Structure 1
Amino acid sequence: MNTRTTAVALIASAMLTTLTACDGDDDKAAATKPSDAPTLSAADREAAREAAGLPPKPSAATTAAYIKALDAINTDIVHGKTEKAVDRGLNTCSSVKSSPNDQAKLIDLTNQRFSSPTHPEGHGPETAEKILKVVRKHLCPDF
């Protein structure tokens, strides 16, 4: 019986020691984190966009025309999230630049990117093709 009691006491002691050793000092961790992330200049951001195959961020007028064209296809494409629609379009431009002649692939990627709460799997190939035309016309006409 003493062996069992001793074994249980040793195991409990080891567990308490382990738990105490795992207790981190949050103040030390917070003190070692950098206070501010490095920032990029506008020129550096544009250079990074270009290197990634993305066109420059569209002007307000271009954005408005782009959103209007998408809404003309179906208002659920943008579903009130203009910035998200622009980001998805710019990402589509990257695909257009890397595979300009693979229309089937571009339509599939466009369908995957332009989903919405009511169309979580995309709007279908027919609508994706229309979206792709709008993206090419407004966001990356040179690709």
Structure 2
Amino acid sequence: MRTHHAFLTLTTAAGLLVLTGCAEVAPAESKPAALPVTAKPSVTHDPDALRAAAGLPTAPKGAARQAFIGGLDAIDRDIVHGKEDKAISRGIDTCSAIKNNPGDRPKQIEQTERRWSSPTHPEGHGLTKAAKILDVTHKNICPTF
């Protein structure tokens, strides 16, 4: 009886192999149907919009920008060292230190000292200058913090 079942199983398997081997192959030029295109969610790359969403001030423009850069240059020209956009970015970052540490001036100065470096001052400009940088930033970029 077992031989009979084995014979039927092998015969059935062989028949299936023959049938699948004879299946018609699709022509090479046939292409799968195109998938529908879905819209991607809108993502903003506007720095001012991202800053506003994070509760930070936007980059100062015009006279406010010049007052900020001028205030930093009055402390030490090496603070900006010709990189105004970088100074603006660091100023906004300093505003986040003010916002995240309200009333903790020593912490704000410490974070300002770490954030504001230059090629000739890779470790920062010292705590005295950091306090002045903090004041110029607070006055010109985020006076409401």
Which interval holds the TM-score relative to the shorter structure? 0.5 to 0.7
Q: Percent identity?
A: 52
Paired positions, count: 104
TM-score scaled by structure 2?
0.67
- 8 Å contact 1:89–1:139 — kept in the other structure? yes
Partner of 1:82: 84
Partner of 2:44: 40
Cα distance in 1, alignment partners of residues 130 and 45 from structure 2 = 34
- 8 Å contact 1:52–1:94 — kept in the other structure? no
Identify the structure with the greater helix proportion.
1
Change (3 A) 1:125 1:51: same
Which runs of no fewer than 5 residues in structure 1 stay unpaired?
1-37
Secondary structure of 1:90's match? helix
Q: Which has the higher Rg, Structure 1 or Structure 2?
A: 2
Cα distance in 2, alignment partners of residues 84 and 137 from structure 1 = 18
Alignment of 1:1-143 (within 5 A): 40=44, 45-143=47-145
Shift of 1:47: 4.3
Which runs of no fewer than 5 residues in structure 2 stay unpaired?
1-41
Coordinate RMSD, CA, aligned? 1.6
Per-residue CA deviation, residues 24-43 of structure 1 (Å, 9 max, x unaligned), is xxxxxxxxxxxxxx65275x
